[in-house]
Amino acid sequence: MDKLLIQGGKRLSGEIAISGAKNAALPILCAGLLTAGDLELSNVPHLHDVATMLKLLGQTGLQVKQDGERVTLNGSAITRLEAPYEMVKTMRASILVLGPLLARFGEAKVSLPGGCAIGSRPVDQHIKGLQALGAEISIEGGYIYAKCKKLKGTRIVTDMITVTGTENLLMAATLAEGETILENAAREPEVTDLAHLLVAMGAKIEGIGTDRLVIQGVPELHGAKHAVISDRIEAATFLCAVAAAGGDITLRNTRTDIMDAALDKLREMGLEMTIGDNWIRAQMNRRPTPVSFRTTEYPGFPTDMQAQFMAVNTVADGASRVTETIFENRFMHVQEMNRLGAAIETDGNTAFIKGVEQLIGAPVMATDLRASASLVIAALAARGETLVDRIYHLDRGYDRMEVKLSAVGADIRRIK
Ligand SMILES: CC(=O)N[C@H]1[C@@H](OP(=O)(O)OP(=O)(O)OC[C@H]2O[C@@H](n3ccc(=O)[nH]c3=O)[C@H](O)[C@@H]2O)O[C@H](CO)[C@@H](O)[C@@H]1O
Ligand SMILES: C=C(OP(=O)(O)O)C(=O)O
């Protein structure tokens, strides 16, 4: 199992190119199931989750051609309408094949994802929405069996805002008969990116970027070209790294207009930033100022950045408070950061952090994707050596993170 060995205390300096967003690429790849035409995608990130998704889609009969960050999909010969447990258990986003398979072929069998390290993460809203569109759904042996003659448009109000739930229902509604209204829709930029691709494929969607999506179903969708949006979470993770370790870095290929909540908090921390259309220069020459925040849906502070900001708060000059409102168990990094000498206490869904002057390297265990990233940030700021174990979580969602960090002067290496 790969590990990362980090010697902390090095300032970061240089340029990093940001990859395409994992959370946009995964639903967009699933949109390949909606058409017999060619989907020509670019800026697809090099990630384990993308490899897993392409393998899963390949098993359905979707033809996949990959050349670096370019992927071409063709869905003219899909025969297997299934996502087996072996694949779904390694990547929850596999649930995103459910809506497209059902809408185009009238049938799908998808393993229930189950919980994961950050929470129980049910998919009841995906199921409820598809039932409202006319699907017959049963659950047997850990699988969702879904069937329909033709989905029929309707008005769906989800109980809570769900990102992949919105994406599944949006994809399904593009091929339903008549009008579907999705109320309480997620407004995350990755949902918007998917919606733009669907429009390029011939879908009729109004309200893109709002919490009310109105979809007029069409009989079929055609091929399209699309570049996946830049990963705002990867970009903000590197900004946290420089805020914690100090230095002067420039990020290229960013989308600065979708990062407001994180950029505001980084400024409050004392990170000096010059921001262009698609680049950010960030300089940090002092100890960070602590910041308190609550995670919420977009455009609020993203839960996927909670752990990385907490890592910066551990070395900040003062105390802070972080409340996690999206997932019930997203503090697994706290104990590991405390092993590095951080002073964090939790009470329910709130963590209280007292900044310490210096973290000290130690062996730590990554428990989920963003927890792993937060431990890398803490290790970069710490004195001495940190060994981060179980980095397969990191590889799910970061494109060669250690290579990008080494290029800006971090002392970080992968150990097999
Ligand atoms: C692949 C992908 O895009 N993953 C992102 C997506 O996950 P994901 O789409 O799984 O997260 P959701 O937005 O669905 O979850 C939000 C909350 O709603 C709950 N819920 C959701 C659906 C449902 O049917 N029932 C239910 O109770 C969840 O347990 C959670 O507490 O959005 C999360 C919230 O921004 C991000 O952290 C993940 O990185
Ligand atoms: C929680 C995340 O991803 P997933 O939904 O794929 O588990 C994430 O990207 O931080």
Question: Domain coordinates of the chain in residue numbers?
Answer: 3-18+230-415, 22-227
Which letter does DSSP use for residue 271 in this model?
A: -
ipTM of the shown complex: 0.99
Q: Which atom of ligand 2 is nearest to the CA of 26?
A: 6
Pick from 46, 92, 8, 2: which is nearest to 391 by CA? Answer: 2
The predicted pLDDT at position 11 comes to 98
Please work out whether the CB of residue 302 comes within 6 Å of at least one atom of ligand 2: no
Pick from 169, 232, 158: which is nearest to 198 by CA? Answer: 169
Fold category of 3-18+230-415 in CATH: UDP-n-acetylglucosamine1-carboxyvinyl-transferase; Chain (3.65.10)
Please work out whether the CB of residue 304 comes within 6 Å of at least one atom of ligand 2: yes
User: Does the annotation place 233 within a ligand binding site?
Assistant: no
The predicted pLDDT at position 115 comes to 77
The predicted pLDDT at position 116 comes to 85
Asked whether 243 and 269 are in contact (CB, 8 A), the reply is yes
**Same fold flag, 3-18+230-415 and 22-227:** yes
The predicted pLDDT at position 83 comes to 97
Q: Which two tokens stand for residue 315?
A: 């070395």
CATH of segment(s) 22-227: 3.65.10.10
User: Does the annotation place 212 within a ligand binding site?
Assistant: no
Q: Which residues does the chain have with pLDDT short of 50? A: none
The predicted pLDDT at position 277 comes to 87
Strand 363-365 relative to strand 143-147, pairing: unpaired
Residue among 53, 369, 395 whose CB has most ligand 2 atoms within 8 A, to mutate:
369
* Ligand 1 centroid from CA 113, angstroms: 12
Mark whether 148 is an active-site residue: no
User: Does the annotation place 38 within a ligand binding site?
Assistant: no
Q: Which two tokens stand for residue 101?
A: 């398979």
Please work out whether the CB of residue 104 comes within 6 Å of at least one atom of ligand 1: no
